Amino acid sequence: MSTFSSETAWLCLAVTAALGGLVLCKLKSPGQVGGKGVCLAGLWGGACLLSLSLFWSLILFSLSCFLLYTYLSGQELLPVDQKAVLITGGDSGIGHALCKYLDQLGFTVFAGVLDENGSGAEELRRTCSTRFSVLQLDVTDSQQIKDAYSKVVQKVQNRGLWAVVNNAGILGLPADGELIPMIHYKRCMDVNFFGAVEVTKAFLPLLRKSKGRLVNISSMAGGVPLFKMAAYGSSKAALTMFSAVMRQELSKWEVKVSNIQPGGFKTNITGTSEMQEKLEKDILDHLTPDVQEEYGQDYILAQKNVFKAVSTYASSDVSPVLQDIQHAISAKSPFTFYTPGSGAYLWLCFVSFSPTGIFDYFNKKFNYLNNGTPRILSMPNWKNKAM
């Protein structure tokens, strides 16, 4: 190798090292930003080294590091400056934890709760700062939404509202789609979708004024067809599409929209044992005799075991969700989608890009919500009888 070529190669190595170091510094971002950035840079660098000469590999890898550094510069967090944020569903679970988390960071937090006199609301009042406010806000009640809007306007005045986080949600009844009563389909849509839409419409004038953020908490189940989640998944899929449309329509107002699609996390979304027993009773009360006969009493009653399975495979550490929401609220250029939780991103990619038959095969293989076989399907020669 000539002296010139040797010096050029060493120069490229030095530039690559310098840019790589800058990228690693930038990758100290909340949530999943850092991990994905490292993966993309590693894959790109490996592809370059395997397919090109050393010189051009280093050139292209340096270019990729530079572009990644430029991109991640937009992920720097804006100063809090007591920015005002409205969070729905603050009574418990992720919403409750998020209220405390953002309050500690210095945000002015408005916690919309289902019961302003409940234990969750009382704990927030006791533990949060003087900036914190609790609002009675059932997202299915139009009058409560209007009242909450008036109270927020009164407090923020000219500062405006920086962000709305539509977090309120219910799981409904996790069971075979045919077994779920229509009342539970409608309830899931009322809370998970229509409630978020109405809250968004009510507070958008304040977000447009501040050029702020709209953050919708959807679910991995809104993009991945999971067993037993027909009602819940459908409502979250609707919310995901709503977010995508609003992202485009609000861009002219410089309002940024992000959709959070978490994997499994332990919250009280499954409800108390009393609530679960009521859901079980609702199944039996709404099924026709023919459907009850074909599924069988044992199979139907076993649906309550789905709640235990959901809790068993869920993570108790909700910090990845909180960090991603913080990033969506605070980053100069927030992401469109966030997928906190183990396996959420991979499952969403898998269902998007794999053939349907392959996805269905693996979905059945890894289905941890399976709880037996309907009575008629366990009978010998049931296929012949059906014909």
Could you list the active site residues?
232
243 in Cβ contact with 218 (< 8 Å): yes
DSSP 190: I
DSSP track, 321-341: HHHHHHHHHHBSS--SEE--S
Sheet strands (E) in the chain: 84-87, 108-113, 133-136, 163-166, 213-217, 256-260, 337-338
Closest CA to 281 of 189, 188, 181: 181
What's the per-residue H, E or C state across 246-290?
HHHHHHHHCCEEEEECCCCECCHHHCCHHHHHHHHHHHHHHCCHH
- Give dist(CA 88, CA 166) in Å, integer: 6
- Give dist(CA 66, CA 15) in Å, integer: 10
- Give dist(CA 8, CA 89) in Å, integer: 59
